[in-house]
Structure 1
């Protein structure tokens, strides 16, 4: 889970990166190597902080960069501490690959990237430590949540596909329903502010978060338990947007440092696209002719379908001994392409749900197979794949769990600033 700096490419492509154009950190090179912060007994020196701050500046960080560097190094120590407790270590080869991978984002080799950093006053060890921490954390997350521990159900994929716009269409930004806790950070009270933020980040329910918002938040929304209305995610600041999109509904974020404050967010709802309408929806369904209405045959086949079919694919086994024409599967039908009696019931059905209609004296079972956005192949639109959607959901869930794990490590850590 290597950290990403969007401005990296812009930085390396500017003339200002030319070797020697940035002043080396000569003052810090002879400065204080004594611990400035300890994290669970692990030291962070003032020189490390200065080096990381310079590195982050070169990668485009703005604002209180030294403060950001301190927090990043605290995270590094916590990640390393967790790895040690799990018996996890990484090889020199893995770190070397990680350094090359990060440098490649700027179309540079690791060697050229190190030369550029050296010319700007950043030591190779600073870069190596940064990459090592990312590689270690990736292994921690894999050990903690990998190996099939997190399962994405078919129903979750169906719901995601039903709200995903086709490729080639003009996408609408996702909308989020969030609650906020904004804790003002007064000078000299950093530790107290962060302790309150970690308390908020530990909230496990919306009600608990709302109570903490009334207690801790200085935002206008505090009186409403921090609750905000639906908003496009693009309305959020970039640093907040990435955090919120990494959450699962019903979860609180790790503390996010914002100007003069520390904020925590609780995701109450996520709308990943415009609502489906009769003009944009496409529905897949199956019909199975059961037999004459009221007959034992119809009742028998209905009972078998209800007992053995959870999805449309299961109907093929149910109807294996029937004439093939009695089972029909319809894929991605749009409005106007569905018979009126079926069109009336499908909007009220969940995926995998079945109902029985009467047609011409016969009972016909109808099952909803899937529901998604209509695809216009004429303009080059293609639908997302199930496997790709599964991977996206899995990555989002693992990312949210990793953020929560780090927030928990912070909440439980002993952090001392000298």
Structure 2
């Protein structure tokens, strides 16, 4: 199952990793869908209750905080989740902290109920084995002895059941995403090539090592709550709280599970408002909250580096070609040759198509040519190949010995550039995260939600 992470419990990330946005990062960055262990908070509520103090307290914690369709969230649920959050973060446990963070806690608990309800509607269940695996992953990530998680939580005054409830919602939602939503997305080769082209173009430009905290909102009221939380997190970072720990607890991006890590991001790759914020930072500093889309973003600039630009003339490429000799038994009329080239340009999408056509036509010096450097090819061919996009057939190139059309199958990029498979996984996870977020917003919009505190 997917990795489940939790901030270190004293004495012993929310999505994996800007997704990655997440988000999965899903950032680099293979940001596969990761389970969020969101930190939640609550304000103890004042309530006049007749009877003994113990009876009053019992009645207080059983009070309904919210109803999501037919499921109730009690004050006890809120308090237990707050205990979990405070035990695993550097935030102070005081009434002011609980008051400021209570709206965020309630929002996430509401979303957990929606996730569980959707899983039930799809006949998706979470087994004891699923929960055991999630707990074991947490212990492994936090270098805890196997089986020690529950005892460790009790030592810190945290009810282990609250973590199990969170894990159950996370695992259920992961199953919804993987089994029900993944089939709705696909990544085309053109998308992968577009990313690779952009990465190559950005070689030689400054890159920034970034991390993020993303706080989503659905309306003006939630935006105000997100700003209040962002201000509180900013105050804690000024007092020494670790950005990574806060990202794991509070961020809703896929990158949360890895402390908000976005990896190395070329200049110009972010949304304009985020680029402006990052450009004003120095390494080691954090931005003020920035609105981008329907979320507040807090960005940490860890480092800046320069990258070496590739020389396309000496970058190895794998190519296939169709060579039409001007003389000999394989020579053909110009009109026939041009018709074949035109048809190939329309129908050939990959080098395999060129290789098959070469076999059918029995053309000499055609098909898979192997890996070469453009500089080692005839100048007229090398110049074209150096700038040719992958899986795109060139125009006809006239040579003294005949005419050739070439397709680049793959380009061996400089160290540091991701493979096509890594880019495909990243794009898939980004699409999946956006679809999951959109699905959750739709569930919230259609639900009957009654907030009672």
Band the TM-score falls in, shorter-chain normalisation: 0.5 to 0.7
Match of 1:309 in 2: 348
1:153 has 2:183 as partner: no
1:363 has 2:388 as partner: no
Match of 1:98 in 2: 134
Unaligned runs of 5+ in 2: 13-43, 45-52, 92-96, 227-270, 299-305, 327-331
Query: 2 CA distance for matches of 1:90 and 1:238?
Result: 39
Match of 1:81 in 2: 117
Query: 2 CA distance for matches of 1:160 and 1:82?
Result: 34
- Cα offset, 1:304, TM superposition: 5.4
1:191-270 alignment, distance < 5 Å = 228=273, 230=275, 255-256=295-296
Aligned counterpart in structure 1 of residue 439 of structure 2, from 402, 405, 412: 405
Aligned counterpart in structure 1 of residue 358 of structure 2, from 312, 319, 325: 319
Q: Over the residues paired in the alignment, what is the CA RMSD in angstroms? A: 4.4
1:36 has 2:65 as partner: yes
User: What TM-score does the superposition give when structure 2 sets the normalisation length?
Assistant: 0.60
Query: 2 CA distance for matches of 1:70 and 1:40?
Result: 15
Give the direction of change, closer, same or farther, for the CA distance of 1:118–1:332 in structure 2 (3 Å limit).
farther
1:137-176 alignment, distance < 5 Å = 137-146=173-182, 148-163=183-198, 172-173=207-208
Q: Secondary structure at the match of 2:398?
A: strand
Give the direction of change, closer, same or farther, for the CA distance of 1:340–1:286 in structure 2 (3 Å limit).
same
Query: 2 CA distance for matches of 1:119 and 1:138?
Result: 30
Give the direction of change, closer, same or farther, for the CA distance of 1:401–1:60 in structure 2 (3 Å limit).
same
Native 8 Å contact 1:53 1:68 kept in 2? no
Aligned counterpart in structure 2 of residue 340 of structure 1, from 363, 366, 379: 379
- Cα offset, 1:307, TM superposition: 5.6
Query: 1 CA distance for matches of 2:350 and 2:150?
Result: 55
Query: 1 CA distance for matches of 2:225 and 2:315?
Result: 48
Unaligned runs of 5+ in 1: 14-24, 195-225, 245-251, 259-272, 376-380
Task: Report which structure shows greater RCO (CA 8 Å, sep ≥6).
Answer: 2
Give the direction of change, closer, same or farther, for the CA distance of 1:47–1:191 in structure 2 (3 Å limit).
farther
Give the direction of change, closer, same or farther, for the CA distance of 1:295–1:184 in structure 2 (3 Å limit).
closer
Cα deviation, 1:19-59, whole Å, max 9, x if unaligned, reads xxxxxx99997442111111223211111111101101222
Query: 2 CA distance for matches of 1:156 and 1:312?
Result: 17
Cα deviation, 1:89-126, whole Å, max 9, x if unaligned, reads 22222222222222221122463111111111111211
Cα deviation, 1:302-332, whole Å, max 9, x if unaligned, reads 2553465221222211111525524452536
1:299 has 2:319 as partner: no
Give the direction of change, closer, same or farther, for the CA distance of 1:153–1:137 in structure 2 (3 Å limit).
same
Match of 2:156 in 1: 120
Give the direction of change, closer, same or farther, for the CA distance of 1:60–1:410 in structure 2 (3 Å limit).
same
